[in-house]
Amino acid sequence: MNKFTKFVVGAAAALALTLVVSASASAAYVQTSTLKMGSKGAQVVSLQQTLNMTSCKVAATGVGSAGFESTTFGAKTKAAVMCFQAANGLKADGVVGAITGAKLALVSSTGTVSTGLPAGCVSTAGYSTTTGAPCSGTPATTVFPAGCVSSVGFSSTTGQACSSSSSVVTGGPLSINQVTGGSGYTATTVGVGDSNHQVADLRIVTGAGGTGNLTGLNVTFKNTQTSGDYMFTKYANNVSVWLNGVQVGSLPASSFTVYNQAYSAYIPLNGAVLNPNTTSDLYIAVSALPVIDSANLGSTHNLFTITGTSIRYSDSTGSAFQYSVSDSNLSSSTFTFDTAASASSIKLNVTKDVNDSTDHTAQASSSAHTNGVTLAMVDLNAQGSNVSIQSLPVTVAVKNTGSGTNVSDVVSTVRLYNSAGALIDSETVPAGGTCASDSSFYGVSGAKCATVTFTNFTNNGLAIPTGSTNVFTIKGDINTIDGTTVAAGTYATAEITGTNTLAVQAYDANNNRLTANSTYLVGSTTGSKTYFYVNGINVAAAGTTTNSYSNPGGSQSHGIFTMTIPFSVTAYGTTAYVPSATSLTSAGTVNNPTATAGAYVQYAVDNGSALQSSGASATISYTGNDALTPDTNGNYQIPVGQTKTFNLVVTYTPSASGSYRAQLVNVNNNTNDSSSTYSTYTAGLNTNQFRTAYMAGQ
């Protein structure tokens, strides 16, 4: 699907009483099972949220109303379903089956059945009657550095890397590409009487488009310790929300709704502006009561988890959306109420930044060094005091497919940049040796590791203000891919291991060094692997994966799954040829299927416990605007420096009932259209960006 197509993202999970949420932005309603009177669960919450977008609301106030949807399908829900069915020409029986579910999935935030067009439009012609925007969608304009036609390679006029300057994208609706739990908030202690103590950070990554506004946050707190009081109101006075250091919302703890000993609320937000192509921090903070019963204090009596979190926002067209955050992304963001003295502990937290990309390939030169390749992005977070870092050890790890035996054969120099993009230190990479056991490269045959310590900081060290998270980027200079010492396919990364973290020289505001133990120096990172080639491709996610199921009818015993995975292919160095044929693999494991070379793009289907060996077929369709079609050899030709977008559409008929998903395993490619020798591409494909969600069927 064209990347500028308007998607309306509905409330797929996590309102006031929700305990189960999905991992990404999703359609307003996703049908996974038939719902009727007595049904319970997260899908009921999604149903009620969707109905509340229409004139057939579950309730005007109280339980079931907007912001207070429940997990129970009762009489009010049935009445709302019957109203919706009657309004859409369906049998008004109050049962949500496949047909009603499909109609609900089209409901937009304006309360109408969406056509997939911008708000106020009934076709792609003309302009919106509500926003004035073109109904064809506002094409985004991407501006690359001078002499570049994409973000791959180097400028023909300046010689600088085409990726060195961020693309400028304007126009179109705002999209949230990713929301994950930010760094630094692990087992946070909130002291008695503390005000606005940050307990969680949501890192929001936006895509192309115009500006937007965050309008609300759904969140649930629950005390997991049974020896203390479960009532959130006996600990907290207020919950506030902050965007990039500015308070944008708050709600008294007494306004939260309690269900099954969990406290949930929808917190309205104001003045929370999101810009396109940026990363923003949305902090959740708690203010403690001035007096808390001492019998409830301490981690043995209270340990609050954060679940049921979702963000509501609107874009420049006025359309409303919801993005649900996976509970697993905030699973470490627990907090405890304790005495003021116990809450004053000072910490430096080290984590991988949300923008650190998945494994990928990059173009390197066969005649010169390739400088400024990003090897890792690291978050440093300070708690309890401003923290100044005087030395920061980093592990540089490589797997060389050539004859070179040292880390320095591959990476000659590494540089450290702050969040503003300014260079703050540069160090030469030593020869290195065997990787330590806490490195992600430990045990990888032929891998080597070297420790580089950044010490020559500008501005008298790395200063991390208390309560803030600073992003630091580690870039490396890659030696010539000569085919001998360093061969194509060599890969490298940078990481801060647990040993590195404990060796950090960090000082608090009183110039006392933080003790080298896991109480004060916390966390580690694993950098994404970058594979180096002179000629090759890079594959990236090009949209949201989908999984739909059609129920069997008549004598048919099993339905059909249709699973779509959008992806893009960028060619560098020379023209690339990607086969249009597909091949199902059933070798390997569920989360790591075996990839093999050949004239096909490989995919897999699994049921969570085993790869399926039959019953599936797939096609690769080109989704760009030009007339690209497979050539006489069955390959898609991708010119050097260009990016082409595709959909892998997998059709699967199961032989048994269960939940199934599809995943992209390998994008084979060739640099010679007539050659039968294909290179396998698997870098970064082993992630959820290239997997559909599991869906139940029979």
Greater confidence (500 vs 42) lies with: 500
Tokens matching residue 560: 């059909």
Going by pLDDT thresholds of 50, 70 and 90, the confidence category of residue 615 is: very high
Question: From CA 337, how far away is CA 482, in angstroms rounded?
Answer: 58
149/104: higher pLDDT: 104
Q: Are residues 336 and 370 in the same domain?
A: no
| 238 phi, psi to nearest 5 deg | -160, 150
- Domain co-membership, 322 together with 397: no
The string of pLDDT tens digits covering residues 242-296 is 998 889 999 999 999 998 899 999 999 999 998 887 888 899 999 999 999 989 9
% of the chain at pLDDT higher than 90: 49
Residue 592 has pLDDT above 80, yes or no: yes
| pLDDT of 646 over the 90 cut | yes
Give the end of a domain, one of 286, 315, 344: 344
Split at pLDDT 50, 70, 90, the class of 301 is: very high
Instruction: Please indicate, yes or no, if residue 57 is contained in any of the structural domains.
Output: yes
Residue 602 — very low, low, confident or very high, per pLDDT cuts 50/70/90?
A: very high
Closest CA to 541 of 651, 664, 679, 374: 664
675 inside domain: yes
pLDDT of residue 156: 47
Total of domains in the chain? 4
**pLDDT of 462:** 86
Closest to 605 in 3D by CA, of 660, 667, 558, 659: 660
Q: Is the pLDDT of residue 17 over 50?
A: no
Of the pLDDT bands very low, low, confident and very high (cuts 50, 70, 90), residue 167 is: very low
Alpha carbons within 13 A on the beta-carbon side of 131: 20
Tokens, residue 77? 């829900």
Asked if residue 105 belongs to a domain, the reply is yes
Residue 123 has a pLDDT of 47
Q: Residue 79's domain is classified under what CATH number?
A: 1.10.101.10
Residue 642 has pLDDT above 60, yes or no: yes
Residues 305 and 397 in one domain: no
Strand 592-593 relative to strand 588-589: parallel, antiparallel, unpaired? antiparallel
- pLDDT band for position 13 (50/70/90)? very low
Identify whether residues 339 and 374 lie together within a single domain.
no
Instruction: Name the least confident of 3-12, 328-337, 680-689.
Output: 3-12
Are residues 695 and 561 in contact, defined by beta-carbon separation less than 8 angstroms? yes
Residue 112 is predicted with a pLDDT of 43
pLDDT at residue 553 in the model:
65
Confidence tier at 406 by pLDDT (50, 70, 90): very high
Which of 329-338, 374-383, 407-416, 655-664: highest mean pLDDT?
407-416
User: Which residues form the domain of 407?
Assistant: 360-533
Residues 390 and 508 in one domain: yes
Residue 272 carries which side chain, given as an amino acid letter? Answer: A
The answer on pLDDT for 233 being more than 60 is: yes
Would you say residue 600 lies in a domain?
yes
Judged against a pLDDT cut of 70, whether residue 471 lies above it is answered with yes
Here the tokens at position 84 are 């919706």
Give the mean pLDDT of 303-331. 83
State the Cα–Cα distance between residues 400 and 402, nearest whole angstrom: 5
Are residues 16 and 49 in contact, defined by beta-carbon separation less than 8 angstroms?
no
Q: Are residues 330 and 181 in the same domain?
A: yes
- The band of 166, judged by pLDDT with boundaries at 50, 70 and 90, is very low
Q: Is residue 216 part of a domain?
A: yes
165 in any annotated domain: no
pLDDT in tens, 477-511: 999 999 999 999 999 999 999 999 999 999 988 88
Greater confidence (165 vs 670) lies with 670
In terms of domains, do 489 and 390 share one?
yes
**542 and 529 in one domain?**
no
Using the 8-state DSSP alphabet, how is residue 62 labeled? S
Extract the runs of DSSP E, i.e. beta strands, from 534-584: 536-541, 546-550, 560-572, 576-579, 582-584
548 and 681 in a common domain: yes
Q: Per-residue pLDDT for 43 more than 60?
A: yes
Q: Are 389 and 442 within one domain?
A: yes
Q: Are 682 and 573 in the same domain?
A: yes
Instruction: Please indicate, yes or no, if residue 137 is contained in any of the structural domains.
Output: no
**Residue 64 pLDDT grade (very low, low, confident, very high; cuts 50, 70, 90):** confident
pLDDT at 571: 94
Per-residue pLDDT, 117: 44
Mean pLDDT of all residues belonging to the chain: 83
| Local confidence band at 131 (pLDDT 50, 70, 90 cut-offs) | very low
Give the side-chain half-sphere CA count within 13 A for 73: 20
pLDDT of residue 371: 95
pLDDT at 326 (0 to 100): 80
282 and 403 within one domain = no
* pTM for the structure as a whole: 0.64
Residue 157 lies in a domain: no
Confidence of residue 634 (pLDDT cuts 50, 70, 90): very high
Q: Which two tokens stand for residue 555?
A: 């004598």
